[in-house]
Amino acid sequence: MAMRAIRGAITLDQDEREHLYSRTKELVTGIMEANSLSTDDVVSVIFTCTPDIVSDFPAAAARELGFGAVPLMCAQEMAVPGALPLVVRVMMHAELDTPRDQIQHIYLRGAAQLRRDLAQ
């Protein structure tokens, strides 16, 4: 098995706790399903949010999906002028046999414009 990093992002419509949780769960579940992962395969997860998201931590939503034993970290994305607002990004590290070029990176909703080459 190899350690792989899986990227993804999703946009929010508003900075509200339950909405953040819902969208974070949508993103994490999408990554897990697309790459046939279980939480036992996941080594760690780093979430970032744009500076306009302050209602809660995306990691708290992941814990509700069963990631309680997985190391999770949240950080603030750089405040680049003109950047897409209300974005949650993720980098998930997992152990899997999938070759690097076959990893399914997931960019949902408005975040699809961040990586048009990878968007679902």
Spot the catalytic one: 63, 64, 109, 116.
63
pLDDT confidence bin for 31, thresholds 50/70/90: very high
Contact between residue 120 and residue 6 where contact means Cβ atoms under 8 Å apart: no
In a domain, 70, yes or no: yes
Cα–Cα–Cα angle for 66, 41, 55, nearest 5°? Answer: 40
The answer to whether residue 115 is catalytic is yes
Total of domains in the chain: 1
In whole numbers, what is the pLDDT of the chain averaged over residues? 95
120 pLDDT more than 60: no
Residues in the chain: 120
Amino acid at 50: T
Spot the catalytic one: 74, 95, 109, 116.
74
Query: Which pLDDT tens digit goes with each residue over 46-63?
Result: 999 999 999 999 999 999
Element (H, E) at 58: helix 58-64
Residue-level pLDDT at 83 = 94
Q: Give the residue carrying structure tokens 């990176």.
A: 105
The answer to whether residue 49 is catalytic is no
Question: How large a percentage of the chain has pLDDT more than 70?
Answer: 96
* Ramachandran class of 86: left when φ > 0, alpha when ψ lies in -120 to 50, beta otherwise: left
Residue 66 is classified by DSSP as T
In a domain, 120, yes or no: no
Question: How large a percentage of the chain has pLDDT more than 90?
Answer: 92
In a domain, 31, yes or no: yes
The answer to whether residue 21 is catalytic is no
Residue-level pLDDT at 91 = 98
SS3 49: strand
Closest C-alpha among 92, 111, 96 to residue 47: 92
What CATH number has the domain bearing residue 80?
3.30.1330.40
Structural domain of 53: 2-115
Residue 59 is classified by DSSP as H
pTM of the model: 0.94
